[in-house]
């Protein structure tokens, strides 16, 4: 048993490492290349392409996987995993890279040129180093997603740690084997965090100086215009067009029967309810933390942020298992309650809210709060009318991102939801697991429709954040 188990761990480790070794570089190349084409060349229709390249993010990876399996039923194993993961996750690199490129001060490139560097050498010696933070950050996100993803890989029968833990959990409830696998997964996440801290480096690339910034330079594409357009058409067709097409095809194939309102409506309402409750709870927890970090920075707020950074990088399955174990042992009457599920969402998605609220708080300096006090408003009223009011848009943006994440969350929801809970994601999952692809299609379409505006919001926000 032990020997078999060890061989199993070795196989999972090999799968996971190979998956990351191929997918992460692929995502970086597609993401940076796309960002460069869109932001730095005279690409025709670059405004449209800028949005289209972010669009695949609106399609949950497990829906992408479902569409690809419908298109090519024989898909299975490592290379299928690489294909689907790359197409699903390259926008995670593209979005920050594009934001950084659009913000880079052309004056820096011009001074490089005046120091005698040619266009290509300028690109590699000045532009690429400035992309470092964006790219390492994006690559970390991709890696964490690869470790955490369950649905997309389970659908094509590609085994990673997460899928194996899920199988263990479902067969031998909370067995020690599952916990052992989970600890390997945790260990891998921690290593990734360390690598990212290293790779990010200490340099700051903020723009120095004041005054309005000129628009970035764009290189003429000339003969490369057509190949560039073809490349982008192919990429969006595979990452966005194909999944959307197959979801729609299944919907037409299923006809009106698959929209059975008595199944469909509760799932939609429950998803919205969980999404809203989770988003509100997460924002409510994130606000004081962000406030502390911005207004009263100190060891406490730093420790809080660090611990949050680590927990948030944990895959949903690990957080789910931890919550199951703790609640069964310590608070059995909490087990499988919606309160427990919402706390798991808070823990998983807190950083999304934190990051946006922090940047919002930075827009509301404490001097404004003090100005309100000097104008006769008591501290609490000053806080409500100035700081809270100025942070509200950012907090709403953060809440929207958390909402999006909850709508598409599958793993922790499967583990922790109360009996009888049906969300769009779990319902989609149970239908497609039963090979009822037509029945699953409406849920997929709804997840895409809910995600689309949020993805656009995320895209806009990244541009704005980079602009400051």
Partner 1 sequence: MTYFSHSRLPEPRIAASVATSTNSHLKIDAVTKNFGSQSVLMGVTLSVAKGGTTAIVGPSGSGKTTLLRLIAGFEHPDTGRISLSGSQVAGEGDWVPAHKRNVGYVAQDGGLFPHLSVGQNISFGLDAGKLPGGHRRVKVRVAELLRMVSLDPEMAKRRPHQLSGGQQQRVALARALAREPELMLLDEPFSALDAGLRVATRRAVGKVLQDAGITTILVTHDQGEALSFADQVAVMRGGRLAQIGNPFIVYTRPADRATAEFLGDAVILDAWMEGSLATCSLGGIPVRRPPAQGRVQLMLRPEQIRIAEDGPIRGVVVDTDYFGPETTVRLKLSVPPILGKATAADHRYHGGGEIITIRHWNASIARPGAELCLRVVGEAVAFPMEDLPSTSPAGTPGTGLS
Q: Which two tokens stand for residue 127?
A: 């532009």
Q: How far from chain centre, in Å, is Cα 112?
A: 35
Q: Using the rule CB under 8 A, which residue among 47, 374, 419, 420 binds partner 1?
A: 374
| Rounded least distance, CB 392 to partner 1, Å | 9
CB closer to partner 1, 131 vs 382: 382
| Rounded least distance, CB 382 to partner 1, Å | 7
Contacts of 443 (CB under 8 A, 6+ apart): 264, 267, 424, 425, 427, 428, 431
Residue 41, SS3 per DSSP: strand
CB closer to partner 1, 238 vs 390: 390
Q: How far apart are alpha carbons 122 and 139 in whole angstroms?
A: 24
Q: Which two tokens stand for residue 96?
A: 């920050």
Tell me: does residue 325 bind partner 1 (CB under 8 A). no
DSSP letters, 365-401, are -HHHHHHHHHTT--HHHHIIIIIIHHHHHHHHHHHHH
DSSP 8-state secondary structure symbol assigned to residue 174: T
Q: How far apart are alpha carbons 262 and 272 in whole angstroms?
A: 16
Tell me: does residue 373 bind partner 1 (CB under 8 A). yes
Q: Using the rule CB under 8 A, which residue among 118, 262, 375, 419 binds partner 1?
A: 375
Applying CB under 8 A, the span of 99-107, 161-169, 185-193, 360-368 interacting with partner 1 comes to 360-368
Q: Which two tokens stand for residue 303?
A: 């420790």
CB closer to partner 1, 261 vs 380: 380
CB closer to partner 1, 121 vs 389: 389
Tell me: does residue 367 bind partner 1 (CB under 8 A). yes
Quick note: the x/- pattern for partner 1 over 229-268, rule CB under 8 A, is ----------------------------------------
Q: Using the rule CB under 8 A, which residue among 370, 418, 434, 449 binds partner 1?
A: 370
| Rounded least distance, CB 375 to partner 1, Å | 3
CA-atom Rg of the chain in angstroms: 23
CB closer to partner 1, 202 vs 210: 210
Applying CB under 8 A, the span of 226-234, 245-253, 354-362, 372-380 interacting with partner 1 comes to 372-380
Q: How far from chain centre, in Å, is Cα 224?
A: 32
| Rounded least distance, CB 303 to partner 1, Å | 19
| Rounded least distance, CB 390 to partner 1, Å | 6
Tell me: does residue 210 bind partner 1 (CB under 8 A). no
- How many residues bind partner 1 (CB under 8 A)? The answer is 17
Quick note: the x/- pattern for partner 1 over 61-80, rule CB under 8 A, is --------------------
CB closer to partner 1, 129 vs 379: 379
Tell me: does residue 372 bind partner 1 (CB under 8 A). yes
Q: Using the rule CB under 8 A, which residue among 76, 390, 438, 452 binds partner 1?
A: 390
Tell me: does residue 22 bind partner 1 (CB under 8 A). no
Q: How far apart are alpha carbons 65 and 83 in whole angstroms?
A: 9
Which of 298, 407, 293 is closest to 361 using CA atoms?
293
Q: How far from chain centre, in Å, is Cα 306?
A: 19
CB of 98 closer than 8 Å to CB of 277: no
Applying CB under 8 A, the span of 235-243, 248-256, 361-369, 402-410 interacting with partner 1 comes to 361-369
Residue 206, burial from CB neighbour count under 10 angstroms (0-12, 13-18, 19+): exposed
Tell me: does residue 301 bind partner 1 (CB under 8 A). no
Tell me: does residue 371 bind partner 1 (CB under 8 A). yes
CB closer to partner 1, 298 vs 418: 298
Tell me: does residue 379 bind partner 1 (CB under 8 A). yes
Tell me: does residue 299 bind partner 1 (CB under 8 A). no
Q: How far apart are alpha carbons 125 and 25 in whole angstroms?
A: 20
Q: Using the rule CB under 8 A, which residue among 13, 76, 184, 368 binds partner 1?
A: 368
DSSP letters, 410-431, are -HHHHHHPPTT---HHHHHHHH
CB closer to partner 1, 234 vs 362: 362
Tell me: does residue 389 bind partner 1 (CB under 8 A). yes
Q: Using the rule CB under 8 A, which residue among 154, 386, 407, 425 binds partner 1?
A: 386
Tell me: does residue 295 bind partner 1 (CB under 8 A). no
* Tokens 């895409």, residue located: 448
DSSP letters, 194-231, are HHHHHHH-S---PPPS-SPPPPPP-B--GGGHHHHHHH
CB of 286 closer than 8 Å to CB of 353: yes
CB of 107 closer than 8 Å to CB of 179: no
Q: How far apart are alpha carbons 157 and 50 in whole angstroms?
A: 33
Tell me: does residue 1 bind partner 1 (CB under 8 A). no
| Rounded least distance, CB 201 to partner 1, Å | 29
Applying CB under 8 A, the span of 6-14, 343-351, 381-389, 399-407 interacting with partner 1 comes to 381-389
Residue 179, burial from CB neighbour count under 10 angstroms (0-12, 13-18, 19+): middle
Using CB under 8 A, list all residues that contact partner 1.
363, 367-368, 370-379, 382, 386, 389-390
């Amino acid at each position: 048993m032990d020997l078999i188990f060890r061989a199993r761990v070795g196989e999972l480790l090999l799968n996971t490492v190979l998956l990351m070794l191929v997918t992460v570089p692929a995502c970086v190349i597609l993401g940076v290349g796309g960002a460069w084409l869109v932001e730095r060349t005279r690409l025709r229709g670059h405004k449209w392409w800028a949005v289209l390249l972010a669009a695949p993010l609106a399609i949950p990876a497990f829906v992408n996987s479902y569409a690809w399996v419908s298109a090519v039923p024989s898909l299975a194993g490592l290379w299928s995993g690489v294909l689907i993961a790359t197409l699903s996750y390259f926008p995670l690199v593209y979005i920050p890279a594009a934001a950084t490129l659009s913000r880079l001060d052309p004056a820096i490139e011009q001074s490089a040129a005046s120091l005698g560097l040619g266009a290509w050498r300028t690109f590699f010696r000045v532009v690429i180093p400035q992309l470092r933070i964006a790219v390492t950050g994006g690559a970390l996100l991709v890696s964490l997603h690869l470790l955490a993803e369950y649905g997309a890989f389970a659908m094509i029968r590609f085994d990673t740690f997460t899928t194996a833990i899920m199988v263990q959990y479902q067969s031998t409830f909370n067995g020690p084997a599952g916990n052992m696998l989970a600890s390997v997964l945790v260990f891998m996440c921690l290593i990734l965090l360390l690598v990212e801290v290293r790779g990010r480096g200490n340099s700051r690339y903020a723009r120095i100086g004041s005054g309005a910034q000129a628009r970035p330079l764009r290189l003429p594409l000339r003969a490369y215009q057509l190949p560039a357009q073809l490349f982008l058409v192919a990429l969006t067709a595979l990452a966005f067009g194909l999944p959307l097409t197959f979801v729609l095809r299944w919907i037409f194939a299923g006809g009106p029967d698959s929209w059975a309102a008595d199944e469909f409506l509760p799932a939609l309402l429950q998803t919205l309810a969980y999404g809203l409750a989770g988003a509100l709870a997460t924002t409510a927890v994130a606000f004081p933390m962000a406030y502390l970090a911005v207004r009263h920075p100190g060891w406490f707020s730093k420790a809080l942020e660090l611990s949050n950074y680590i927990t948030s990088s944990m895959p949903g399955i690990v957080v789910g298992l931890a919550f199951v174990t703790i609640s069964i042992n310590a608070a059995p009457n909490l087990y499988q309650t919606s309160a427990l599920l919402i706390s798991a969402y808070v823990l998983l998605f807190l950083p999304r809210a934190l990051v946006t609220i922090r940047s919002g708080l930075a827009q509301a300096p404490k001097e404004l709060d003090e100005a309100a006090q000097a104008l006769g408003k008591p501290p609490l009223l000053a806080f409500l009318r100035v700081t809270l009011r100025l942070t509200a848009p950012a907090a709403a943006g953060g809440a929207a991102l958390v909402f999006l994440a909850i709508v598409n969350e599958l793993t922790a929801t499967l583990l922790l939801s109360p009996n009888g809970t049906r969300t769009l994601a779990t319902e989609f999952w149970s239908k497609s697991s039963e090979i009822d692809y037509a029945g699953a299609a409406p849920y997929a379409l709804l997840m895409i429709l809910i995600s689309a505006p949020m993805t656009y919001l995320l895209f806009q926000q990244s541009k704005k954040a980079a602009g400051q």
